[in-house]
Structure 1
Amino acid sequence: MDDFYKEFDNEQLKGRSHPTDQQINNLVLDGWKGTRGSNRGPNFFDWFKNICKIRSSVHNVLRQISYGFRKRVSTYGCYDVNGYRFRSEKYENNRTGLATTNSGVCVTCSDGNGNVLEYFGVIEDIIKISWEGREQLELVLFYCRWFDPTSRGVRQTENLGLVEVKYSSRLPNFEPFVLASQVTQVYYLSYACDKPNLRDWWVVHHVAPRDCLPPIDINNDSIETEEPSHDISFFQEDGLEGTFVIDLGDIEIVASSADEITDPKELKELEKQTDAPQQEEILETDDEGNEDDAESDDEDCYEDEDF
């Protein structure tokens, strides 16, 4: 879609005098607002829908998206994505005995200047929308209540490394939706004490995805190590591959008097077991008294067969 966005901006901003970032953003959502009706331009969605009608080169998926999604949507209480199990706040409030709170979310964004900003919120509803057409196009969105990401709603304790959110603060803009694939999971812990400077704040704890190790924190600067990976799946091998041999060396077996066989019946049975191999060798001789070579017979059989 990047090429279409650039084409739209170049076409609609042609001849305009240095629009601000806010004007460019409004251009995409509402179109260019001129003083006269003839100067009004289309927003990006109407413009893109018209492009899909007149151009046959547009991809079928993008063309289907331009039709718009169905007005009837699906809603869920739980949704698994990114190694997390998310639940809406409405779902958790109607369930008793839950051992965990899975409605906290965090999404990381960056502004035009490259500044990274974290948005913390609570999932109020989980919605799946579908598009009309032959392709099975679906998208899951989290409808969230976002806290103010500025210093009025989020603060960080430098000496402890804690991130806190003021749960009564709200994001000033109405932007409740976020893609389910964009968020990570957090939970909020209130303070046990009732001090005025802590009463309205929650401590943020980031949850590690299922089947992944949490990030490794190396504080020893004197040892040069490679930067650890934050996406390490752990598992248990079923068994060792290959074989190995244990060399016991020359072991001298000493029989003690306690192990010596003295019973006549046991001695007679032992003699039978010792003589049995000799009798088998006699049976394998031919009429002339020559022993048959089993290996030579096998070789003759293989030589007579055609492969």
Structure 2
Amino acid sequence: MTYNEKDYDKMLWYILNNTPEVEPFIEICRTELESAGNVDVDRALAKEFAGWFNKHLATRKFVHGEEVNEDLYALASEPHLRVHLFSGCLVNGVRYHTLDRERSRKTQNSGVMVEGSHNGGDIDLYGQLKEIIQLQYNSDSNSQRTVVLFQCNWFDTCSKKSRIKDDGHFKSVSHGSCWYKDDPFIFATQATKVFYLEDNKHGEPWKVVQKFSHRHLWNVPEEENDDLPAQAEHELSYQDDEQENTSFQVADLERASINEQPSNYEDGICVQASLVDQIQRERELEVEENGFEDDADETVRQYDSENEGPIHDDGEYSDFE
């Protein structure tokens, strides 16, 4: 099974179009397209910029002998045509699962939100995680260059179609239809986790949106230890953010007290430092070095390409976001 070329090109354009270091080159290309008389410059940019950028930096580097940033050149050279897929990952300590993986679980970890724009105005886009995609760019002994994208289904929340309800306390979105189907990708680090709760006031297909709040459990050493590195306190932090699917009666909820934690959860529990250390060691056994879960059901989708280089799996590094 392979990614179709259209989706692959969309991923490349999203990465380039959302990398600040690339913006000056996009403007140069835009000016050239406008001078050439292109009617739809934005469409032409999305289609042609990746190839233009590759050729532009290669000319600067090999023809004119200019010094080109290696990370930027790797980005212009495009990723390997081997796409790694995962069903789960951790982003800054927050767990995400794809919809397919979530169907067999009682927990909810596929809800995502991202800040965006629509018709010139700022909006919050709400959706569900469909795929977790890792792309590998040219790497060397000093840098492992990877980019992780989320492919999402975005719920249509157009206010003109009355597909979002906000009374100032609760926000409910309709899961009945999706939009931005041609723009499904975001950086994994751009996502904000949300939960969708049953809306018993409006019924299906409405869901109440509950933003995820971090549960912070820190290892605070009980005794001074000069041999303990200063950053160890943060390295030993532990977080489990899974949310059980639970029905809520919206009309009966205290508006200021909705929380994704179970009712018997006590915030800010103090524990022995040794216990947190033990939990962390156990968790490290479950998570690979690159931050993805061991049981992530990795699938490799392979393109046949003479230009494809070797992939190094001894680490990852993303410096493009």
Q: TM-score range by the shorter chain?
A: 0.5 to 0.7
Q: Give TM-score scaled by structure 1 length.
A: 0.57
Aligned to 1:275: none
Aligned to 1:104: 111
Q: Is the 8 A contact 1:153 1:169 kept in 2?
A: no
Q: Summarize the alignment of residues 9-158 of structure 1 with structure 2, pairs less than 5 Å apart.
A: 9-14=30-35, 16=37, 23-30=40-47, 43-56=48-61, 57-95=67-105, 98=106, 100-110=107-117, 113=120, 115-134=121-140, 135-151=143-159, 152=161, 154-158=163-167
* Whole-Å separation in 2 of the counterparts to 1:192 and 1:235: 33
Q: Give TM-score scaled by structure 2 length.
A: 0.54
Aligned to 1:253: none
Instruction: Report the CA distance between 1:173 and its aligned residue.
Output: 3.5
Provide the aligned length of Structure 1 versus Structure 2.
195
Q: Is the 8 A contact 2:154 2:180 kept in 1?
A: no
* Whole-Å separation in 2 of the counterparts to 1:75 and 1:153: 35
Highest RCO, 1 vs 2 (Cα 8 Å, sep ≥ 6): 2
What amino acid does structure 2 have at the position aligned with 1:28?
Answer: L
* Whole-Å separation in 1 of the counterparts to 2:76 and 2:69: 11
The 3 A distance-change label for structure 1 pair 106 and 25 is: same
The 3 A distance-change label for structure 1 pair 112 and 120 is: closer
Aligned to 1:272: none
1:209 pairs with one of 202, 206, 214? 214
Structure 1 outlier segments of 4+, above 6 Å: 234-238
RMSD: 2.9
Instruction: Report the CA distance between 1:85 and its aligned residue.
Output: 0.9
Deviations 1:225-257 (A, max 9, x none): xxxxxxxxx89799xxxxxxxxxxxxxxxxxxx
Give the 3-state SS of the residue equivalent to 1:161 in structure 2: coil
What amino acid does structure 2 have at the position aligned with 1:108?
Answer: E
The 3 A distance-change label for structure 1 pair 112 and 93 is: closer
Q: Is the 8 A contact 1:147 1:171 kept in 2?
A: yes
1:171 pairs with one of 179, 191, 204? 179
Aligned to 1:231: none
Worse overlay, 163-172 or 145-154: 145-154
Give the 3-state SS of the residue equivalent to 1:10 in structure 2: helix
* Whole-Å separation in 1 of the counterparts to 2:131 and 2:269: 34
Instruction: Report the CA distance between 1:153 and its aligned residue.
Output: 6.6
The 3 A distance-change label for structure 1 pair 211 and 93 is: same
* Whole-Å separation in 1 of the counterparts to 2:197 and 2:92: 23
Give the 3-state SS of the residue equivalent to 1:13 in structure 2: helix
Give the 3-state SS of the residue equivalent to 2:26 in structure 1: helix
Q: Is the 8 A contact 1:84 1:210 kept in 2?
A: no
Deviations 1:247-274 (A, max 9, x none): xxxxxxxxxxxxxxxxxxxxxxxxxxxx
* Whole-Å separation in 1 of the counterparts to 2:198 and 2:131: 23
Unaligned 5+ runs, structure 2: 1-21, 62-66, 218-255, 257-267, 273-321
Instruction: Report the CA distance between 1:15 and its aligned residue.
Output: 6.1
